[in-house]
Amino acid sequence: MITTDFVPGSPCMLDLGTLDVPAAAAFYGAVLGWDYEPMGDDGEAMEGGMFNKDGKMVAGLGKLTEQGARPAWMIYYSVADADATTRAVQSAGGTVRVAPMDLEEWGRMAQYSDPLGGQFAVWQPGESKGVDLVDKPGSLSWTELYTSDADAAKEFYGGVLGWRFSDMEIPGGEGTYTLITPSGLPEERMHGGLMQVGEEGLALAGGRPYWHPVFNVTDCDAAVAAVTDNGGSVQMGPQDTAGVGRMALCLDPFDADFVVLTPVDS
């Protein structure tokens, strides 16, 4: 489970890069019950801001500006030293997309691609450790990587972020799912998973691996109905997974992917 103590290696923040900030804000408001708070003065209000749920910050939102980039969620993992992590990424064959930079007093961030092209980011906390709400309805509850090479991904992320891994067979003989736990913590603190998929499974990102967030919702079917009613689409589900809950893989109106999950114990 994800908690807000944000130990090194745990997901601590996420933001969405989109083509249309007001439209994306309206979509996620309808689907996840989020309130959008623009940042900056009136001239900049359309460029980005923060999503809140019940008065607590749950994610960021910004205008996509990178040439050729697809709308997508970026997941940030907590680190003690973003500069040291950057050196580790480079030594392990990854690419620095955004060099470490300070965001005023809030913290220090950097963005990377893993050796196979999967994009992720890190956050070195300052005054802000990360989002204020996790593992509750309308907030992040899991992170997931679709990759072309699970063994290579485990080697890279294990070395860079210190993760521990445990494999489990997917029911129905559909392959292996690898569970991710921060270094030094018990398995009940696992925060994500990775899965090797074929070319079709990576089509959304042009054949590259990609991360997506899983959001906790009280009613998966109602969330899916809100997705389709507000211009999004469903790639998979809703379906029940034993011991996990009911989930669906969705796309927002600009094809940014995310999962909605009603946990089995909710």
Q: Does 111 or 40 have the greater pLDDT score?
A: 111
Dist CA 258 CA 227 (whole Å): 11
pLDDT at 258 over 80: yes
Dist CA 132 CA 33 (whole Å): 15
Task: Give residue-wise pLDDT tens across range 238-252.
Answer: 999 888 899 999 999
Asked if the domains at 11-125 and 140-263 fall in one CATH topology, the answer is yes
Dist CA 62 CA 93 (whole Å): 28
Task: Give residue-wise pLDDT tens across range 214-223.
Answer: 999 999 999 9
The fraction of the chain above a pLDDT of 70, given in percent, is 96
Average pLDDT over residues 83-103: 97
User: 130 with 58: CB under 8 angstroms?
Assistant: no
Q: Where are the domains of the chain?
A: 11-125, 140-263
Dist CA 175 CA 187 (whole Å): 21
User: 62 with 103: CB under 8 angstroms?
Assistant: no
pLDDT score of 173: 63
Q: What's the fold here for domain 140-263?
A: 2,3-Dihydroxybiphenyl 1,2-Dioxygenase; domain 1 (3.10.180)
pLDDT score of 42: 53
* pLDDT classification of 4: cutoffs 50, 70, 90: confident
pLDDT score of 89: 98
Q: How many CB atoms lie within 10 A of CB 84?
A: 12
Whether residue 100 is preceded by a cis peptide bond, meaning omega within 30 degrees of 0, is no
Task: Give residue-wise pLDDT tens across range 96-125.
Answer: 999 999 999 999 999 999 999 999 999 999
Query: Which token pair is 39?
Result: 């940042």
Q: Does 92 or 174 have the greater pLDDT score?
A: 92
Average pLDDT of the chain to the nearest whole number? 93
Dist CA 180 CA 93 (whole Å): 21
Nearest Cα to Cα of residue 237 among 256, 253, 259: 259
pLDDT at 84 over 50: yes
Which residues partner with 98 through β-bridges? 111
- With a CB cutoff of 8 Å and minimum separation 6, the contacts of 134 are 2, 3, 4, 58, 140, 141
Q: Kindly write down the DSSP assignment for every residue of 42-74, as one continuous string.
A: TTTTTTEEEEEETTEEEEEEEE--STTPPPEEE
Domain at 11-125, CATH homologous superfamily: 2,3-Dihydroxybiphenyl 1,2-Dioxygenase, domain 1 (3.10.180.10)
- DSSP reduced 3-state for 200: helix
Go through the chain and tell me how many residues it has. 266
Task: Give residue-wise pLDDT tens across range 26-35.
Answer: 999 999 999 9
- DSSP reduced 3-state for 195: strand
- What does pTM read for this prediction? 0.94
Backbone angles phi, psi at 47, to 5 degrees: -90, -20
User: 246 with 238: CB under 8 angstroms?
Assistant: yes
Tell me which residue has tokens 């809703």: 238
pLDDT score of 259: 97
The fraction of the chain above a pLDDT of 90, given in percent, is 81
* pLDDT classification of 144: cutoffs 50, 70, 90: very high
pLDDT score of 40: 67
